Amino acid sequence: MGILERAKMRGTMPRRPTPTTTSSIEPVLRWLDDPLTRSTLGDTTRTGKTSLRRLAACRRPDEPDTLEWLDEHLGELAERLRERERLSTSAVRTYAQRAESVLISYQAFLEDPTGWVPVDRRMRGEEPPDQSRMPEQELTELWQALAKWPHVRRAMYPMIEKLVRELEEDGG
């Protein structure tokens, strides 16, 4: 059972009514092209797209064109890719791992778009950003960091000043 199928069983598939959610790899590729995703995942977006495209290209015409099917058959598709392009086992394993990583991240994003943290960061032991921090704490840390860079401080000062005023107006 693949990750998307498990999510469907848990009832955590996307709540947004988008017809492209499970129709192909296109929604995942669009998500990987999003500037926020690219800035968060870095080079993983490029390698993940390549992996998904190459593995999906190994589907036969009679096989479903869905993310669920792709997810459940990554190993089989990887083997077809290895045979078709005469790739090494380790290269094909890398393609499959990258595709799986992208699918896991995409599913995690769909489950909680505002709290999404890339799976790779969780695997490395990094914690998601602390949502309980007070804006004042963050501003204090920002001022301390900017003290090291006077040129940046001059450019950023008007924006930070505006944030401080907004916090004060909101009673913060």
161, 88: one domain: no
Angle, CA 161 vertex, CA 157 and CA 164 arms, to 5°: 140
Task: Count CA within 13 A, CB hemisphere, residue 125.
Answer: 0
139, 113: one domain: no
Instruction: Give the pLDDT of residue 65.
Output: 87
Domain-embedded: residue 130: no
Domain-embedded: residue 128: no
| pTM, full prediction | 0.57
100, 158: one domain: no
CB 55 within 8 A of CB 97: no
Instruction: Give the pLDDT of residue 5.
Output: 58
Question: What's the domain count of the chain?
Answer: 2
51, 95: one domain: yes
94, 159: one domain: no
DSSP-derived secondary structure for 19-43:
TTTTTSSHHHHHHHHSHHHHHHHTT
- Crossing angle of helices 89-111 and 74-85, rounded to 10°: 140
119, 149: one domain: no
45, 115: one domain: yes
For residues 62 and 114, give the distance between their C-alpha atoms in angstroms, rounded to a whole number.
37
CB 24 within 8 A of CB 66: yes
| Domain housing 63 | 3-123
- Ramachandran quadrant class, 137 (left: phi over 0; alpha: psi -120 to 50; beta: rest): alpha
Q: Residue 138 CA to chain centroid, in angstroms?
A: 25
97, 141: one domain: no
10, 42: one domain: yes
55, 110: one domain: yes
| CB burial of residue 98 (10 Å; 0-12, 13-18, 19+) | buried
CB 167 within 8 A of CB 139: yes
For residues 139 and 152, give the distance between their C-alpha atoms in angstroms, rounded to a whole number.
15
Domain-embedded: residue 129: no
- The whole-number mean pLDDT for each consecutive block of 10 residues of the chain, a chain of 172 residues, reads 56 39 75 87 88 93 89 93 92 92 89 75 52 68 77 76 77 59
Domain-embedded: residue 62: yes
